[in-house]
């Protein structure tokens, strides 16, 4: 057997191994994003409950101590379930544990929407969910790995901006959501999408975990991406809220008839109060704040004594 023939055989084996590795990575990424899409779908449904049922937001704001206690209990149970998944291989592959984590995360996020803007949070979740679904469809139609492929990254970036642009346009012109809400949701969605690619590549290369992640650990990988997304979201959300309050842009914390600060009791039709800026700034600059009916009643009962 000639050396040239042996060299060709070795190259063919390397090419075959490389192709098999690409197929395995593509299947792994497809499973990760499919599970991540399901988790985001559940979270989106649970988060939409306070947005649809307004009295629940009122209850959470009035019973603040109970709400904080409920959130603390959910975080404690969440930590108890998550810690074994980080260190025990059999547990990290459990779909049941992933489902429990998703439900408790949904309780936490739906509770926190009583103190934030549900419109922004829901819009961000919908955009990110649509992007994850497109990643799954992309991996179903091609064998290339978008994490390492240049064409895959280019297509992924184009899909990301298409989803964000389309979602933003529909939100403004169809659903009549405020421009500032759409801007914040779009920024968060773009950061999420970029971070998904970077974080997934780091997880696959073993740079995010001390233990080696195999192709069967797609459940744990989806959980890691899921948690990273929500941690980043709340950090970005907190920073943007502080900046907007400093700039004096009201974020609309008053959900309809539900007051978000004591001053809203005097302005019954105020829908643009975030609790940290002037409640007299309403959506319509020409609209004057309505007076408190209790003050009007007290003023009517005052009699002027004759001189």
> How distant, in Å, are the alpha carbons of 64, 71, 97, 189 from that of 109?
15, 9, 18, 17
Residue 6, both tokens: 């042996």
**Total domain count for the chain?**
2
Residue 19, pLDDT score: 66
Across 167-184, average pLDDT: 78
Q: Which of 247, 267, 295 is the last residue before a domain boundary?
A: 247
Neighbours of 137 (CB within 10 A): 13
- Do 225 and 269 sit in the same domain of this protein? no
Residue 255, strand partner residues: 258
Average pLDDT, the chain: 68
User: What percentage of the chain's residues is helix, strand, coil (to nearest 5)?
Assistant: 75, 0, 25
DSSP structure string for 41-53: HHHHHHHHHHHH-
Residue 147, pLDDT score: 60
Tens of pLDDT along 227-271? 877 777 666 666 666 666 665 554 444 444 433 444 344 344 444
Residue 258, pLDDT score: 38
Residue 261, pLDDT score: 45
- Do 142 and 264 sit in the same domain of this protein? no
Residue 224, pLDDT score: 81
Q: How far apart are CA 56 and CA 168, in angstroms?
A: 27
Asked whether residue 1 carries a pLDDT value surpassing 50, the answer given is: yes
Residue 102, pLDDT score: 87
- The pTM score is 0.65
Residue 242, pLDDT score: 67
- Do 82 and 29 sit in the same domain of this protein? yes
Residue 287, pLDDT score: 44
Residue 278, pLDDT score: 42
Angle at Cα 181 formed by Cα 176 and Cα 182, nearest 5°? 75
Q: How far apart are CA 207 and CA 202, in angstroms?
A: 5
Residues 6+ positions from 279 with CB-CB distance below 8 Å: 261, 263, 264, 266, 267, 270, 273, 289
- Do 153 and 72 sit in the same domain of this protein? yes
- Do 213 and 142 sit in the same domain of this protein? yes
Q: What percent of the chain has pLDDT over 90?
A: 0
Asked whether residue 97 carries a pLDDT value surpassing 60, the answer given is: yes
- Do 47 and 176 sit in the same domain of this protein? yes
Higher per-residue pLDDT: 23 or 146: 23
Q: Which of 203, 218, 247 is the last residue before a domain boundary?
A: 247
- Do 172 and 202 sit in the same domain of this protein? yes
First to last CA, the chain: 127
Displacement of CA 258 from its chain's centroid (Å): 24
Tens of pLDDT along 102-155? 888 888 878 777 666 666 677 777 777 777 777 667 666 665 556 666 777 777
- Do 60 and 157 sit in the same domain of this protein? yes
Q: How far apart are CA 273 and CA 254, in angstroms?
A: 5
- Do 195 and 286 sit in the same domain of this protein? no
Least-confidence region, from 195-199, 210-214, 216-220: 210-214
Q: 109 in the Ramachandran plot: left (φ > 0), alpha (ψ -120 to 50) or beta?
A: alpha
Higher per-residue pLDDT: 233 or 68: 68
SS3 category, 258: strand
Q: Domain range for residue 24?
A: 3-247
- Do 40 and 139 sit in the same domain of this protein? yes
- 158 burial via Cβ count (<10 Å: 0-12, 13-18, 19+): exposed
- Do 52 and 121 sit in the same domain of this protein? yes
- Do 198 and 136 sit in the same domain of this protein? yes
Higher per-residue pLDDT: 151 or 275: 151
Asked whether residue 301 carries a pLDDT value surpassing 60, the answer given is: no
Residue 217, both tokens: 């650990």
Q: Which of 88-92, 176-180, 222-226 has the highest mean pLDDT?
A: 222-226
Asked whether residue 279 carries a pLDDT value surpassing 60, the answer given is: no
Q: How confident is the model at residue 159 (pLDDT cuts 50, 70, 90)?
A: confident
């Amino acid at each position: 057997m000639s050396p040239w023939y042996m060299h060709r055989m070795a190259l063919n084996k390397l090419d075959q191994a490389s192709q098999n590795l690409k197929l395995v990575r593509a299947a792994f990424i497809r499973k990760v994003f499919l599970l991540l899409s399901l988790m985001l779908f559940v979270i989106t449904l649970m988060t939409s409950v306070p947005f649809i049922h307004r009295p629940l937001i009122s209850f959470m704001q009035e019973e603040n101590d109970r709400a904080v206690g409920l959130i603390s209990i959910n975080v404690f149970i969440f930590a108890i379930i998550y810690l074994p998944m980080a260190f025990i291989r059999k547990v990290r592959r459990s779909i049941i544990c992933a489902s429990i984590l998703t439900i408790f995360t949904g309780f936490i996020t739906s509770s926190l929407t009583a103190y934030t803007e549900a419109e922004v949070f829901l819009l961000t979740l919908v955009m990110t969910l649509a992007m994850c679904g497109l990643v799954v469809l992309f991996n179903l139609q091609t064998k290339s790995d978008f994490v390492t492929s240049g064409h895959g990254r280019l297509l992924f970036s184009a899909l990301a901006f298409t989803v964000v642009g389309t979602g933003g346009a529909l939100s403004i012109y169809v659903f009549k959501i405020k421009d500032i809400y759409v801007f914040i949701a779009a920024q968060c969605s773009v950061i999420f999408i970029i971070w998904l690619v970077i974080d997934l590549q780091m997880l696959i290369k073993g740079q995010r975990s001390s233990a080696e992640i195999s192709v069967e650990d797609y459940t744990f990988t989806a959980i890691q991406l899921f948690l990273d997304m929500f941690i980043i979201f709340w950090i970005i959300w907190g920073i943007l809220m502080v900046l907007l309050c400093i700039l004096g842009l009201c974020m609309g914390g008053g959900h309809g008839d539900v007051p978000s600060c004591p001053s809203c009791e005097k302005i019954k039709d105020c829908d643009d109060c975030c609790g940290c800026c002037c409640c007299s700034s309403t959506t319509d600059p020409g609209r004057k704040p309505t007076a408190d009916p209790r003050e009007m009643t007290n003023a009517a009962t005052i009699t002027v004594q004759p001189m």
